[in-house]
Copies of this chain bind each other. A is one copy, B any other.
Amino acid sequence: MLNFSLIGAGRIGYMHAKIIKAHPKSNLKYVYDVNSKLANDVVKLTGCAKAKSPEQAINSKDIDAVLIASATPTHTKFITTAAKAGKAIFCEKPIDLNIKKVNQCENNIKNYKVPIQIGFNRRFDLSHAKVQKACLNKEIGDLEMVVITSRDPQPPSIDYLKAAGGFFRDATIHDFDLTRFILGNDPVVQISAFGEALFDKNAKKIKDQDTGMFILKSKKGVLIHINNSRRAVYGYDQRVEIFGSKGMVISNNQVPNSVEKFTNKSTNIKDPIHFFFMERYEKAYKDQFNEFVKCVLKKTNPKVTFDDGKKALIIANAAYKSLKSGKVVNIKF
């Protein structure tokens, strides 16, 4: 049994609280949020104690692990505190928006050998994971192309946008990580990025983007395309396609039911795909947490590491450099 403190009780934090509660081998002991009301909701749901401070929650002797789901700028601080306290750490993505802070954090914790897992949930999606495995097992022969389609149902609020660190660091970062997941030990070495504010006035106002297209190249010459949008009216569009010398494997979108309708105007009509990440990746979030619990209990290394979080951010930064310069940018990890 693994005892947890939860730092951050917003939408994502609350979801994690439910997952911790439901898991047969984990238990929520403390919750902390700067917003006392949000912490209370988690107390009500799980019966855990409300910590007076994040430090109390993290350092408490009766806990084994910390789940960090607080605001992004606080991540590195809580990671450092938890590492020093010898707690296992699950931290939501991104580690931080500033690569310097990430590097400093990495340096601060390097001597504390605690397990750390970063919340790139998509790696745990059953379908995406099958695609990755098909790639690894050479089911498609030698990999030649990857095409990732990634479109949110609707743009977030301007407040969210202001704190998010830019479209590429907030949204595309998931796809950069998915790219690394699929490529395995063949690192990406180059990127060319396009970004536009085509429909979201808020994005435009703060000089952010709502639409992006990217080409990356790996060391072996594999070409990767990502297209990313903040808005898709038919739901949360999440597709991954790998193509190689022996064929193609696609992880397709998913509709919540298997009903098809036929009328005098159209056929094979299905409902919209899953609305957003909470629905589409519901199982992936559970499987991600289950993996973390297993790793900590079995003292094995988590599969999605601090280094993965850092490298996704490095790619996002390279993407911005490409966007500004109009050049293909070399990626240096």
Contacts and interface: CB of A to CB of B under 8 A. Distances in A.
Contacts of A107: none
A159 interface: no
Band of interface residues on A? 35 or more
A288 to B, nearest CB: 16
Nearest to A240: B259
Contact of A266 (B151, B199, B213, B271): B271
Number of this chain's copies in the complex: 4
A127 B259 contact: yes
Contacts of A233: 245-247, 263-264
A43 to B, nearest CB: 16
A249 B260 contact: yes
Interface string A185-196: 000000010101
A211 B264 contact: no
Most chain B CB neighbours (cut-off 10 Å) among A145, A196, A255, A262: A262
A248 interface: yes
Interface string A203-244: 000000001111101000111110101011111010000010
Nearest to A256: B126
B145 A234 contact: no
A308 interface: no
17 contacts: A127-B257, A142-B198, A142-B199, A192-B328, A194-B217, A211-B223, A215-B215, A232-B248, A234-B264, A234-B266, A237-B248, A247-B263, A250-B260, A251-B257, A267-B270, A269-B270, A327-B328
